[in-house]
Amino acid sequence: MRLTLATLLRHWRRMPLQLGLMIAGLALATALWSAVQAINGEARASYARAVEQLGSAQLPALTAPDGHIPLATYVSLRRAGWQLSPVLEGRWSPGRRPVTLMGVDVLSHPVTAAMAAAEAEADPDAPPFATVMQRETLFAHPDHLPDLAGSGYRLLPLPHLPPDVVIGDLALVATLLDRPDALTRLLILPEQPTGLTPLAELAPNLRVGRVQDGVAGDPQRLTRSFHLNLSAFGLLSFAVGLFIVQGSVTLGLEQRRGQIQTLRCLGVPLSQLMLALAIELVVFALVAGLIGLVIGYGLAGLLLPDVTATLRGLYGAPVDGELTLRPGWVLSGLAMSVGGTLLAGTQAFLALRRMARSLSQAPVSGARRGAHHWLRLAAGGLVLMGLGTLIGGIWPGLLTGFVWLAGLMVGAALLLPALLHAASHLIPTGPDSPLRAWLIADSRLQLPGLSLSLMALCLAVATNIGVGTMVSSFRLTFVDWIDQRLLADLYVQPETETMEAELMHWAQQAGVRALPRYQIDSRSGNAPLRLFGITDDPRYAEEWPLLRSQPDVWTRLFDQGEILINEQLAHRQGLSPGSVVELAPGWSARVAGVYADYGNPDGQAYMSIDAMRDREMPMTLSQIGLVAPAGTSIEDLAQELRAALALPPGAVIRRDAIRATSTAIFDRTFVVTGALNVLTLAVAGFAMLTSFLSQWSRRLPQLSPLWAMGVTRRQLALCEVLRSLGFAAGTFLLALPLGLLLAWILLAHINLEAFGWRVPMTLFPDDWLRLFALTLLAAAVAALGPATRLLRLSPARLLGVFSHDR
């Protein structure tokens, strides 16, 4: 066995380039996959830590339909022997930004341990919970502490808390929220005495369920689409890398046909050859896997800051910016590498089996594929595309959306060689162009060997077009949306009611129209719902386009108590203009219109400030927009306002500054997507290069006779480049519609499932041209190596093909 393996491995000493390319391909694929997994793993670990810090995720809780549990109910349940931990939660505005304030019972809530640790770190000599019990201390995410500086309380950091959640003792929070005798929920602690009266009897109006602490919600749920997206990218890159491995392994076997024949003649059984091949592949996979993990770790380190920014900015999800080396990640990366290599080697195993049984079979007979082969492949592709569409169409959902995408992409990849084969028959070849006729016929012969790398290229280009179109369409819509939503020229967030009054007074005196916006945080359909109250102003009707609306929508809003809801709330609850929606327990309103909202995944509703005031719920002023009178300089107005109210420069924000910041955040959000896009294309280009180089050794006997017939090496080299360009162009032509379909699914279905909004699709032909040029460039670069080799090839090498007797 050892000798068989050593003999087989010896081949690679003569083929260092081929071996290097195979290892590099697999390492690159593993690197991208493991980088994505490292990022996902880090994010998930951060979410888990956050949940662990809050400690309540695993515990069932009692909640009331109206969100308020009377303190007396809690007391009666405790008296009945139930071990419960009370939680009070609400929105609190200590500074400019409202936060979720969570009051817990420090003796029973699971977050206690983290609070005690933070307190001990701040003051090692103090007895545990001394300051908490004295109602002086609040805990928040370290990044959020500066915003709370003016609250007047002692602030301690709890790094894994969600950014806008503040925790404190129950009594302190009850005071701050002015809700002394109400609770939001009661956590049912794990250890309960036996023989208790059932909760359903003691408190029939309360429901038992699992409720996540903190209005920010479950980060795992919110960010699921983001991580699924990253994983899909990683898997795509890995699959593209496997095409490289598949090509190299099969070629390596083909090259050792003589060696295998000899070994078989010397009595080596097929099973031993199979085992030797398997060991060879596993060794390569482990080496490449380790290299890939090192590269992947570095790549993840580079991308993580942008991912962290995205997750915090877009979803408010807490993620540490530091990467941790996890044994599970290393093992799964290696397993992926080994598993993928063995999968990619399946064809090689089958080829070895065939080879060992029929040694006289000429290699080329295995390479030529008849029309029926391509038809079978195309039929398989069409079936996959149909199945994917069927699944995605019948069962709408995030996961089935990705299944739809996968079905379309793999199906189209299988369709590609058949289409290229068919297209080659459409190119006219007259008797006057024998070289063209040969080039086309030879391209058909090369197609089986190149088809995998072309499929990889097709997937990479389609992904590039699809994701590029999605991001660009989204960006265009987002920027447009920002412009429409920023109705005022200046924005101010008053910190106190006095300041609010002063500001409104100043605006009246200066002839400036003020657009104040108040807010209430509520829940609807067991999901967070933010309500905004606005004053009547013609600018809303003039500049705020709605997706769907009732006639006289603005009159209905300001005079008839109807509301506008965002698209995600409409989608989630199946609402449309005319529907009635529950805004809070006992408070419903009719929907007058639906507006686009790309700023957050949660539900929102707009109503008149009078309708909001009627409810007598605690509301906060979120901002005041100021519309500069015609002909007034916005900058002068801002300066005047700052001077009049003695505001710091940062307190008055110009519309264009908000627009610039929002756009910058948006762009940063898609840095990772862009990077993965480019990397996938690079891997596909690399796959093409390895295919061409792998085919190189087979090409000489096919090219030498032509040279002997008077075709110059320059002409042959040009043919190689032209073939590569032709294949790439053909591949692009299929990838373009596929990419657009991908974009449509991403925009109209995946986005809808993930965020609840649909983004109109815009076409960007300039981007396609750029990508087409890039694809041709990648193909030209990939073919340039073999072409240059051919150009520089000494006649002796070409003659070697004919010199059998020397």
Partner 1 sequence: MRQDIGTRGFLLLLRVQDLTRRYPGQTRAVLQGAGFELDRGESVALTGESGSGKSTLLHMLAALDQPDAGQILLDGADISRLDDRSASAVRRRRIALVFQHFNLIPALTVAENIALHARLGKCHEAEWTNHLAERMGLADLMRRYPEQISGGQQQRVAIARALALRPDVLLADEPTGNLDEYASEEVLRLMLELVSEAGSALLLVTHSQQIAARCQRHLHLSGGQITEGACA
**Interface positions with partner 1 (CB under 8 A):** 362, 364-365, 368, 431-432, 434-435, 437-438, 441-446, 701-702, 704-714, 795-796, 798-799, 801-806
Residue 647 structure tokens: 């505001």
User: Position 792: which residue type?
Assistant: R
Residue 82 structure tokens: 């139930």
Which position has the token pair 């089996």? 353
What DSSP letter does each residue of 174-204 carry, written as one string?
A: HHHHT-TTEESEEEE-S---SSPPPHHHH-T
Work out how close the CB of 416 gets to partner 1 at its nearest, in angstroms, rounded to a whole number. 20
CA distance 345 to 276: 13
For residue 86, give the nearest of 67, 65, 71 by alpha carbon: 71
For residue 58, give the nearest of 188, 249, 169 by alpha carbon: 188
DSSP-H helix ranges across 268-370: 270-310, 327-344, 346-357, 363-367
N residues, the chain: 806
For residue 565, give the nearest of 597, 600, 525 by alpha carbon: 597
Nearer to partner 1, 18 or 443 (CB): 443
Residue 424 structure tokens: 């080659």
Nearer to partner 1, 81 or 363 (CB): 363
Nearer to partner 1, 526 or 803 (CB): 803
Count of Cβ atoms closer than 10 Å to residue 3 Cβ? 12
Nearer to partner 1, 365 or 509 (CB): 365
Which position has the token pair 């108590």? 561
Work out how close the CB of 727 gets to partner 1 at its nearest, in angstroms, rounded to a whole number. 15
Work out how close the CB of 698 gets to partner 1 at its nearest, in angstroms, rounded to a whole number. 10
Q: ∠ CA(587), CA(590), CA(595), 5° rounding? A: 110
Nearer to partner 1, 159 or 366 (CB): 366
Work out how close the CB of 44 gets to partner 1 at its nearest, in angstroms, rounded to a whole number. 52
| Residues 76 and 160: beta-carbon distance below 8 Å | no
- Cα 332 to Cα 38, 244, 326: the distances in Å are 11, 21, 10
User: Position 721: which residue type?
Assistant: V
Work out how close the CB of 257 gets to partner 1 at its nearest, in angstroms, rounded to a whole number. 15
Per the DSSP assignment, residues forming a β-bridge with 89 are: 102
Could you give phi then psi for residue 615, rounded to 5 degrees?
-80, -15
Residue 724 structure tokens: 């590569």
Count of Cβ atoms closer than 10 Å to residue 795 Cβ? 10
434-485 and 713-745 helices, crossing angle to 10°: 30
User: Position 610: which residue type?
Assistant: D
CA distance 673 to 467: 8
SS (H, E, C) 75-95: HHHHHCCCCEEEEEEEEECCC
- Cα 480 to Cα 12, 486, 489, 745, 760: the distances in Å are 57, 10, 16, 22, 12
Residue 679 structure tokens: 């990397």
State the sign of the Cα–Cα–Cα–Cα dihedral 44, 47, 49, 52: negative
Work out how close the CB of 259 gets to partner 1 at its nearest, in angstroms, rounded to a whole number. 20
- E strand or H helix that includes residue 56: none
Residue 150 structure tokens: 């003016």
Nearer to partner 1, 253 or 798 (CB): 798
Work out how close the CB of 710 gets to partner 1 at its nearest, in angstroms, rounded to a whole number. 3
Nearer to partner 1, 202 or 437 (CB): 437
| Residues 177 and 92: beta-carbon distance below 8 Å | yes
User: Position 608: which residue type?
Assistant: S
Work out how close the CB of 430 gets to partner 1 at its nearest, in angstroms, rounded to a whole number. 10
Nearer to partner 1, 442 or 502 (CB): 442
Nearer to partner 1, 345 or 449 (CB): 449
Work out how close the CB of 395 gets to partner 1 at its nearest, in angstroms, rounded to a whole number. 46
Work out how close the CB of 452 gets to partner 1 at its nearest, in angstroms, rounded to a whole number. 19
Work out how close the CB of 793 gets to partner 1 at its nearest, in angstroms, rounded to a whole number. 11
Work out how close the CB of 709 gets to partner 1 at its nearest, in angstroms, rounded to a whole number. 5
Instruction: Please write down the long-range contacts of 76-79, taking CB distance under 8 Å and 24 or more positions apart.
Output: 76/202, 76/203, 77/186, 77/199, 77/202, 77/203
Work out how close the CB of 748 gets to partner 1 at its nearest, in angstroms, rounded to a whole number. 44
Nearer to partner 1, 652 or 716 (CB): 716
Count of Cβ atoms closer than 10 Å to residue 268 Cβ? 19
3-state SS, residue 169: strand
Work out how close the CB of 692 gets to partner 1 at its nearest, in angstroms, rounded to a whole number. 16
Work out how close the CB of 730 gets to partner 1 at its nearest, in angstroms, rounded to a whole number. 17
Residue 791 structure tokens: 């150009």
Nearer to partner 1, 9 or 791 (CB): 791
Work out how close the CB of 264 gets to partner 1 at its nearest, in angstroms, rounded to a whole number. 22
| Residues 213 and 528: beta-carbon distance below 8 Å | no
Nearer to partner 1, 267 or 370 (CB): 370
Strand 587-595, strand 563-566: pairing = parallel
Nearer to partner 1, 271 or 803 (CB): 803
| Residues 139 and 166: beta-carbon distance below 8 Å | yes
Nearer to partner 1, 125 or 805 (CB): 805
Which position has the token pair 């070289």? 435
Which position has the token pair 């609010």? 500
Work out how close the CB of 420 gets to partner 1 at its nearest, in angstroms, rounded to a whole number. 15
Nearer to partner 1, 658 or 718 (CB): 718
CA distance 400 to 617: 41
Work out how close the CB of 806 gets to partner 1 at its nearest, in angstroms, rounded to a whole number. 6
Nearer to partner 1, 358 or 803 (CB): 803
Per the DSSP assignment, residues forming a β-bridge with 626 are: 490, 514
Nearer to partner 1, 150 or 363 (CB): 363
Per the DSSP assignment, residues forming a β-bridge with 167 are: 102, 139
Nearer to partner 1, 444 or 475 (CB): 444
